[in-house]
């Protein structure tokens, strides 16, 4: 059950990352358009932020990794993601008034809007690997399976957001829903992490 929870959390993280990245184009478009400059800025910020998240997530997982700390990543991501839809217009106005070049304007706006939540979401994959790998012999298999699940979530997040979400809902609604999903998953992970030791102790007592 613990393994299934970790895989589900990894899937949710991958889904959310790509959904936000696609929404980034819609968020920046009213001020900076949807040119290749804008998409280049968005992709650059997401790739750089994910790389930092992978690095920090790997380092953080060295210090007694556990499901409860893993779940707090989702709660933290939800907290910083939720204001994105509310504050995005004000941030873009601030940048637009000061940077006329659409290349550096869109890049600056993307940095301000997406860096923090993407870094936190990037920490999920390496941390989830450390939770499941028990022996060196199984590390490659576990890492491959986790990245498969996470990337599958990213693929479905891309498809769902581009084919359906943007047609059915406003961008603010989608962002709020993603934040709510992360929060629910994080809280559920914390609750499960508290119940799992109790079930283990109960099983030991019966034996």
Domain boundaries, given as residue ranges, for the chain: 2-206
Q: Are 5 and 193 in contact (CB under 8 A)?
A: no
pLDDT tier, 196 (very low <50, low <70, confident <90, very high otherwise): low
CA–CA gap between residue 155 and residue 17 (Å, rounded): 10
**DSSP strands (E only) in the chain:** none
Select the more confidently predicted residue: 65 or 48: 48
CA–CA gap between residue 15 and residue 46 (Å, rounded): 14
**H helices, E strands: number in the chain:** 9, 0
pLDDT at 199 over 80: no
SS3 call for 47: helix
Residue 124's nearest CA partner among 153, 163, 92, 160 is 153
* pTM of this structure: 0.87
pLDDT at 43 over 70: yes
86 CB burial (10 A radius; 0-12, 13-18, 19+): exposed
pLDDT at 143 over 90: no
Q: Residue 110: which residues within 8 A CB-CB, separation 6 or more?
A: 24, 28, 41, 42, 44, 45
Mean pLDDT is lowest, of 14-23, 74-83, 128-137, for 128-137
Q: Are 116 and 48 in contact (CB under 8 A)?
A: no
168 CB burial (10 A radius; 0-12, 13-18, 19+): exposed
For the domain spanning 2-206, the CATH number is 1.20.1250
pLDDT, position 99? 85
Rounded to 5°, the CA angle 77-187-172 comes to 45
| Residue 66 DSSP class | -
pLDDT tens for each residue of 162-188: 998 989 999 899 999 999 999 999 999
pLDDT, position 16? 94
pLDDT, position 114? 93
pLDDT, position 66? 87
pLDDT at 105 over 50: yes
What mean pLDDT do residues 54-63 have?
88
């Amino acid at each position: 059950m613990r393994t299934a929870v970790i895989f589900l959390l990894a899937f949710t993280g991958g889904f959310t990352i790509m959904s936000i990245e696609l929404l980034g184009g819609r968020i920046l478009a009213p001020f900076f358009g949807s040119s290749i400059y804008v998409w280049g800025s968005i992709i650059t910020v997401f790739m750089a932020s994910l790389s930092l998240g992978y690095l920090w997530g790997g380092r953080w997982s060295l210090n007694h990794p556990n499901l409860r700390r893993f779940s707090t990543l989702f709660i933290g991501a939800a907290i910083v993601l939720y204001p994105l839809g509310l504050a995005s217009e004000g941030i873009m106005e601030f940048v637009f008034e000061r940077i006329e070049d659409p290349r550096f304007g869109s890049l600056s706006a993307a940095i301000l809007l997406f860096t923090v939540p993407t870094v936190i979401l990037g920490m999920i994959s390496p941390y989830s690997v450390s939770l499941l790998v028990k022996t060196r012999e199984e590390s490659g298999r576990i890492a491959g399976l986790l990245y498969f699940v996470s990337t599958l979530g990213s693929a479905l997040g891309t498809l769902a957001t581009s084919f359906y979400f943007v047609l059915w809902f406003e961008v603010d609604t989608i962002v709020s829903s993603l934040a709510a999903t992360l929060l629910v998953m994080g809280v559920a992970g914390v609750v499960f992490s508290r119940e799992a030791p109790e079930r283990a102790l109960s099983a030991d007592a019966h034996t």
